[in-house]
Amino acid sequence: MSVRETAVWGLLESVEGEDATREGLLETPARVAKAYEHWFSGYKSDPKDVLKVFKDGAEGYDEMVLETDIPVYSTCEHHMAPFFGVAHIAYIPSGAVVGLSKLVRLVDIFARRLQVQERLTAQIADCLNDELKPLGVGVLIQCRHMCIESRGVATPGVITTTSALRGVIKNEPETRAEFLSLIPMVQKRGVL
């Protein structure tokens, strides 16, 4: 048994009233170890490596680029419970653009780590800001947290919203308003 499988086995044995040796659980340690390898694969990737930047690839385009409803699947570092939802990312180019699929990959890399939503939001914004050097960056994430829905207050459907704004999207009220007006959340749409 691998170290991960042994850890899962220990958890199964600690569940009061469960028989960790019953047939349905015999392969669970291997399955969970494999799932965790996928869920935490973000540690194996450098986010900067996925941002394919095209210098003036948009021939001077300097208006907002926005991708909405990027799926987020992450794990809360406090309870190791899942949280999930959507990310909305905008940037205003300053001579360089990024491949659009790379924004999705950027979210995925940071999300596939033990996280808190606030840090996840800031990491995405900071990485994009540092690597692309745009005029502005806006990241807004909306998620449901299983640590809220399935334990503690046990209240389903609560959506947590976090934002990280940089440059003109933070400092210019009209640009911030444009960003927020284009996001489905502002239009009162739910998450998942």
Q: List, edge to edge, every strand of the sheet that includes 82-92.
A: 114-115, 65-76, 82-92, 136-145, 160-167
Cα separations (Å) of 153 from 54, 148, 150?
Answer: 47, 6, 8
Question: Residue 39: which residues within 8 A CB-CB, separation 6 or more?
Answer: 73, 75, 112
Q: Which residues are catalytic?
A: 76-79, 117, 145, 147
Residue 128: which of 71, 181, 90 has the closest Cα? Answer: 90
Q: How far is Cα of residue 80 from the mean position of the Cα atoms in its chain? A: 15
Distance from C-alpha of 73 to C-alpha of 63, rounded to nearest angstrom: 29
From residue 10, alpha-carbon distances to 6, 7, 173 in Å are 6, 5, 53
Tokens standing for residue 36 = 């965790």
| Helix (H/G/I), strand (E/B), else coil: 140 | strand
Tokens of 191: 């998450």
